[in-house]
Amino acid sequence: MSSIPRFFVPPPAIQGDTITLPPDAAHHAVGVLRMREGEEIIVHDNTGDGYRCRLTRVQSKVTVATVESRFTVPTEPKTRLTVAQVLPKTGEKIEQVLQHGTEVGASGFVLFQSERSVARMEQKDKIEKRLERWQGIVQGAAEQSGRGRLPTVEWERHAPDITRRIGEWDAAIALHEGATLALRDALQAERIADATRLLILVGPEGGFTDGEVAGFAGAGATPVSLGARVLRTETAALVALAQILYARGE
């Protein structure tokens, strides 16, 4: 991956050939990377377009770049994979899923609680603070890995809330150690093989309960196995993402 620093900016920050970096991006460029006028950056507008730019004004409050060329970012998978991940025991584990899942190619994340969840989030202000932090982690990973679009990060309170939303995707798979259908074989099934928007349901350290899996299946999800070895919750989503994108040549 190119060593040129990359930054996501909202489309309104791009006016013709002039891009004004938002405060957070400007701070990172000036205060962290110690960049100077004349240095090169790449800007993404979160629509799939990229801009190769040259810094023309570098100040603590206002940092401006001039566009030298525009291109389509080629790194986005055609398959839109969303990871619905039950909260692990520690914040470090969910951050690993968000960071590495973004690098691998996830298009979105939905965090939620299940019956066997150890970690709990009930207070609205706590949820909002966590979402803000999680979105920052995703953005940093997207910039580092050269993504053209920022994966979304959402919160749902309980497994039944996720179950009711399964129909929003073309197909869904639920990772479950008791499943008899291997992911490799599931990807050949007609509905999943044709899906361009796929939901991956990942349980906590103790796994989903049989009732939760039955609920997912009743809503259209397919229970699948990742193999004979039991994976950690923070590993399972990454393995599934990589297998699916590899199988599809992405």
Same domain, yes or no, for 20 and 117?
Answer: no
Domain count, the chain: 2
| Assigned domain for 1 exists | no
47-66: average pLDDT? 91
Within-domain flag for 169:
yes
Predicted TM-score of the model (pTM): 0.89
Q: Are residues 49 and 167 in the same domain?
A: no
Looking at residue 197, its amino acid is R
pLDDT in tens, 142-187: 999 999 999 999 999 889 999 999 999 999 999 998 889 999 999 9
Q: Are residues 68 and 91 in the same domain?
A: no
pLDDT at 39: 94
Given pLDDT bands bounded at 50, 70 and 90, which one contains residue 2?
A: low
Does 1 have pLDDT greater than 50?
no
Q: Could you tell me if residue 234 is inside a domain?
A: yes
Residue 75: name the closest of 143, 170, 12, 25 by CA. Answer: 143
Mean pLDDT of the chain: 92
Supply the pLDDT for residue 124: 67
Structure tokens, 139: 């953005």
For residue 240, the enclosing domain spans: 80-247
Is 215 within a domain?
A: yes
